[in-house]
Amino acid sequence: MSTEVNLKQGLRKLEYPICAKEALYKIYDLICSRITSIKNMDLALDLMAEFVFYEVDRRGHKRAQSLSPLQELQLVKILYEYFDTLTSESGRNTVFLSLFSGTTINSRLGVLTKFISMGIGIPSTKILSSASAWMQQLGNTSPNSCKFAEGLIQDYFHFYVSSTEKITALPEISLEFTANFLTAIAENYYNTSNKKTTTLPPSKFIFPPQKLLETVTLWISQNTSLCIAAQQKQAVLPPGAIAMEATTPIAGLLKWCILAPIYRQDSKEYTDLHLALLNSIMEIPKSTPPKAVCAQHLTSSINPILTFVNDLKNKQEKKFSEIINEDALQLSLDRFAQAIQVIASVNAMYGHTDDLYHQIKILPFNKLMNIIQNNYKNKVVVL
């Protein structure tokens, strides 16, 4: 107890941000030593809240005023220098996951986004590797990961558009981080149930900025293994931690390409991205069981297509025969069918595949989709 008191009293004598820098070294000793305890972890969490993020005072009460913009920038710089010099990947990830845990991330997301934005800009492979492990452990499609990804998009595709060459080179810095980042990005667009980000309005499709679309297309076109990279290399985690399986961005990005025609998003990048995704899927190594594309994720394109058909029928009073021959609808269905066909051909689909094939029956007629349905029906009969 006296050691804990002495430690805190010593740090309180230091001005911010020096106390934050010193606290990080103490935190590492507490949670990364060979012998750890609940007491050490609790003390480390106290140090984070009081001396690193300046969230509570010496009595543990929430501060009326958090970090000033200047203090936040000072902290981001300290975090960058600290993590970029840590040689132990296990220790680095242990501290990172503790600083930005699922229970504290809401109040620390702004610092995290600026910190990783700096890790992209300078850049730092070590920091992005830890950020990748963090996204994977919290879930790369989770609300926190999606908010984090949106923050980086704001930085590099809205605020600092002249610095896009930095993020264009992202796969060269960290392939695994880019893959997890892509999965979160895919969730943020062409998604009506936008509870995942606070910056995007609900019940409305949001389309990716053109420069982001171009960058994503370039990434995947240049590296067919990018989409599954996060599944190929396991992060080094703290002892006893259970590694979470990464969700690939394939289904989410395919949804962009499938729905783009019916929402009059006619950028040629959607065609290029669709082709790049199909090429990537063809290169997926066989795994048992399959883990690259979830069948349930693919079904998320069905309702928007049906809504499009109903809108044409009700608002424009078109006959169903006219609607079926709509070029935009048929292109959308062609892309959907091509995706299912290629994914099935390399046995990369997992989950409720029967449900997917059952649901696509309610879609308007499309020649290729009809062939896929018949092939699946025959396969099931043979089995």
Task: State which H helix or E strand residue 57 sits in.
Answer: none
361: helix, coil or strand? Answer: helix
pLDDT digit string (tens) for 189-231?
998 654 444 444 434 679 999 999 999 999 999 999 999 999 9
Sequential pLDDT tens for the chain (383 residues): 567 889 999 999 999 999 999 999 999 999 998 777 899 999 999 999 999 999 999 988 999 888 999 999 999 999 999 999 999 999 999 999 999 999 999 999 999 999 999 999 999 999 999 999 999 999 999 999 999 999 999 999 988 766 678 899 999 999 999 999 999 999 999 986 544 444 444 346 799 999 999 999 999 999 999 999 999 988 888 878 889 999 999 999 999 999 999 999 999 999 999 999 999 999 999 888 899 999 999 999 999 999 999 988 887 767 777 788 899 999 999 999 999 999 999 999 999 999 999 999 999 999 999 999 998 888 765 44
Query: Exposed/middle/buried for 209, CB within 10 Å: 0-12, 13-18, 19+?
Result: middle
Q: Cα 255 from chain centroid? A: 15
242: helix, coil or strand? Answer: coil
CB atoms within 10 A of CB 2: 6
Residue 172: both structure tokens together: 């060269």
Q: Are 282 and 325 in contact (CB under 8 A)?
A: no
Angstrom distance (rounded) from CA 95 to CA 297: 33
Contacts of 330 (CB under 8 A, 6+ apart): 324, 366
Helix (DSSP H) and strand (DSSP E) numbers for the chain: 21, 2
Q: Are 90 and 238 in contact (CB under 8 A)?
A: yes
Residue 194: both structure tokens together: 């936008």
Note the pLDDT of residue 323: 81
Query: Exposed/middle/buried for 211, CB within 10 Å: 0-12, 13-18, 19+?
Result: middle
Distances (CA, A) of 202 to 44, 190, 191, 197, 297: 38, 11, 9, 9, 20
- Ranges of H-type helices in 155-301: 164-168, 170-173, 175-188, 210-222, 229-232, 250-259, 268-282, 295-298
Angstrom distance (rounded) from CA 160 to CA 330: 38
pLDDT digit string (tens) for 34-91?
777 899 999 999 999 999 999 999 988 999 888 999 999 999 999 999 999 999 999 9
Confidence (pTM): 0.93
Note the pLDDT of residue 66: 85
Task: Determine the residue type at 367.
Answer: K
Calculate helix-pair angle for 302-314, 250-259, nearest 10 degrees: 10
* Ramachandran bin of 54, using left for φ above 0, alpha for ψ from -120 to 50, beta for the remaining angles: left
Task: Determine the residue type at 16.
Answer: Y
Contacts of 42 (CB under 8 A, 6+ apart): none
